[in-house]
Amino acid sequence: MAWAPEARTAPGRDTGGTSLEVLRALESGPRGLTEAEAEERLARHGENVFPGRRPASWPRRFARSLRDPFTAVLVGLGLVSAVMASWGTACVIAVLVTVSCVLRATGEHRADRSAAALRELVATTATVRRRATESAPPATRELPVEQLVPGDLVLLGPGDLVPADLRLLRATGLTVHEAALTGESAPAAKSAPAATTATAPGHLCLQGSSVVSGTGSGVVVATGRDTVLSGALPADGQDARPGADSSGRGRLLRPFDRSVNGIAWTLIRFMLLTAPLVLLADALVRGRGLATLPFAVAVAVGLTPEMLPVIVTSALARGAALPARDGEVIVRRLPALHDLGAVDVLCVDKTGTLTEDRPVLALAEDADGHADQDVLRWAAVNALWTLHLAELPVPDALDEAVLEADAADVLAHGDDPRFAVLEGVDALPCGPGRRLSTAVVRRPGDPRFALAGTHTLVVKGAPEDVLDRCALDPAERARLTRRADGLAAEGLRVLAVARAERPARDRPYTEADERDLTFTGFVGLADAPAPTAAEALAGLARNGVTVKVLTGDHPGTAARICRELGLDPGTPVTGDRVDELDDAELARLAAGTTVFARCAPAHKARVVHALRGAGHATGFLGDGVNDLAALHAADVGVCPRDGVDVAREAADVVLASKDLTSLDRAIVTGRGATANITAYLRITLSSNFGNVIAMLVAGLMLPFLPMLPAQVLVQNLFFDAAQLSLAFDRDSGAHTRPAVLRPRALLRFVTGFGLLNAAADLATFAVLALAVRSLGAEAGQDAFHAGWFTENLLTQAMVMALLRSGRGGAPRPVRAAVAGLAIVGLLLPVSPLGPMLSMSPLPTLYYGLLALVLVVYGAALWAARSRRLSPLTRPFP
């Protein structure tokens, strides 16, 4: 059940009439348009270019980045700080917001530029027949495809990409590869309609297809956004995902959106509760009221992981830059890198992804089913002499595969003199309605093959057509037919080969001579697997990704290629079966099915949507127009470099390399980026949560603020700057399972480690009470501020060192950041900047007692880490 697209036409045009009617409707003719007519139509219809998605400008991307939940909260806190004249806080928040938005906008803008560069892979010229003036004779010349207009006459030859939607006027042995449109891997035969025949699908060549064999000419009926290829895209702003209405309600969120939004709104609610709680508690216990407002805002800022947008963007941008720099993968939407790392089910189209767009020899056997290279040799004789004597420009895909296999056999085993000396006499090629070809050959130098001797007819083609011309009894014909059907069910394209000897003659041979043949054997051909497909599938399996094949091909064809690539196909399910199931039943069936065959685009999208609905992070790899619905339905859509323009535009990730293993490496990169984002959340939230608890307790116990707003701000600034290094961390074990942020598991983790951090802070309070009790009130406050500032940065450095994602030695950026944080914590209070921040030097006793607290805290942190970190990082919370 392949998709059979209907051609859209230029406004006001109709392809449904006869050839003459179509030419009249297009105001064209067999001599082509004049240059003046073409220029007028180009101005009216526009250039023949794929409309695509209009790339968003850099300022628009920057503004869109402000919609991130944490970024929006930071903007709100910055405005509150500005209203309260806390300009230092407001300025720092403005810097954080700007850096995050610039990184994100720049990364996505760069990815769009890289994706646009892939458009050079499509055809750039077409052969067109035009006239300089009305009275001038028609001339054939190459023309940029952008300048084609409705009514142009285009000439097609082998290897040409169809540059627009065409209605054929003439065709000779024309076959067209339409896998990008229909999903069918076999070339489709095309023919020109008779003068009084209306247009049918076999009379149309659509943009995005390519000529396999034969020649033809056609009139352009649609260009640009009016073609089927462009019309397959959803309208701007329309969500093509199943389950989403026009307002976007009911849409399944992607893994990144689910994870980040869940964490963001949970923390935002907690933050909005904390600030009023600080104000209320301080007012009730100390009576300071609104005087504590700056401190409450500082506490809210301290609890907020304000660097999350920067860290997320930095980690994803760096992760996306690594494969892009190697020319392997282009990530068009930065969060898609996280989604790629979360994928646990990858659905793939077969043609153009797992296989190449060409067949290869799978078997050659005689009538008894035994391997026989003579069958291949006779098939090659037919292909060779049909090509030469029928003056075909190039062999079709099946003949080319036969000739390549024969050449390889000759190279391996030497030439067979029985076949090497054969000379061609005549040929009857395939054609519209004719599914076999005949080559007539003779052997020079042999008296039996002289004019008075014998000619040999070698016939090759569809099994049923060849068998009908063989001299066989009914039982033998039925047995061979069953064998051919069995080979086809195994996913092979089967050709039958037969021969007959006829008395030599001068007059041409006709179809009437194709009778009383002697059956020689079968030749079976299969789709050629992509060179790196087997390695890629094995790598995906090792990394916890289940692969499912969704194709428009025959179930046997799909199952065969799966077995060749080491993937167990199980029992294939067809599109008809999918139609019989509701969403819940389909989700249960999809969970245990590897191959879905005879799938239309809607079937592919339903299967992907069912897997997502069952809780799987689902990716889809496809390259054609028939894959668009599934690309939109998936959590992350992936397109190979040779995919059609609309597929590349719809994809979140484009494989710039033909090496499919690059996708596996991109998944690993995405998991590494998710690991670093998770590490930041673990570190900053554990530390911030513990600090908030300590601030609340100290605020109730102390007659002064435990830390001034400026000190909180400076502390956060240094801690946040140090955490930027986490984007460079690496975890060699992060790739073994799908990685996704899980808010509930993360919050449980943060609660446990936050309480541990709060205990260290409270122990520090006791140490400070003992160490600074001999100082006066004002000096004691400054010393208390300095002591807690130092302890906070030192414990935060320890948290960074112990709770990072990597299991081995920390990379140089992380080591430098940890060391720098500890140095600032020790030296800033005693530097000239200390008094400016209301901090004073501490007695020596404090440092000795603090070292004891840190040793105990580090041991507790290490013990807790060993017990609780692993479940959170494999898979990540």
Residues involved in catalysis: 349
| Cβ-based neighbour number of residue 132 at 10 Å | 12
Closest CA to 865 of 805, 802, 809: 802
- The answer to whether 693 and 835 are in contact (CB under 8 A) is no
The token pair at 283 is 């007012």
Distance CA 654, CA 645 (A): 11
- The token pair at 788 is 């807690």
Q: Which of helix, strand or coil describes residue 223?
A: coil
Task: Look at the chain and count its residues.
Answer: 877
DSSP, residue by residue, 143-181: EEGGG--TT-EEEE-TTPBP-SEEEEEEEEEEEEE-HHH
Cross-strand bridge partners of residue 363: 524
DSSP string, 698-715: HHHH-SS-SS-HHHHHHH
User: What is the amino acid identity at position 173?
Assistant: G
Reference 759, options 858, 846, 848, 847; nearest CA is 858
Q: How far apart are CA 575 and CA 584, in angstroms?
A: 16
Taking the C-alpha atoms of residue 28 and residue 625, their distance in angstroms, rounded to an integer, is 29
Q: Is 325 exposed, middle or buried (0-12, 13-18, 19+ CB in 10 A)?
A: exposed
Tell me if the bond preceding 706 is cis, omega within 30° of 0: no
Contact in structure between 755 and 694 (CB atoms under 8 Å): no
CA distances to 464, 468, 754 from 477, rounded to whole Å, are 9, 8, 80
- Pairwise CA distance, residues 77 & 308, whole Å: 15
Q: List the strands of the sheet with 573-574, edge to edge.
A: 329-331, 653-655, 636-640, 618-621, 345-348, 546-550, 595-597, 573-574
DSSP run (H or E) holding 101: helix 87-117
Cβ burial, residue 369 (10 Å; 0-12/13-18/19+): middle
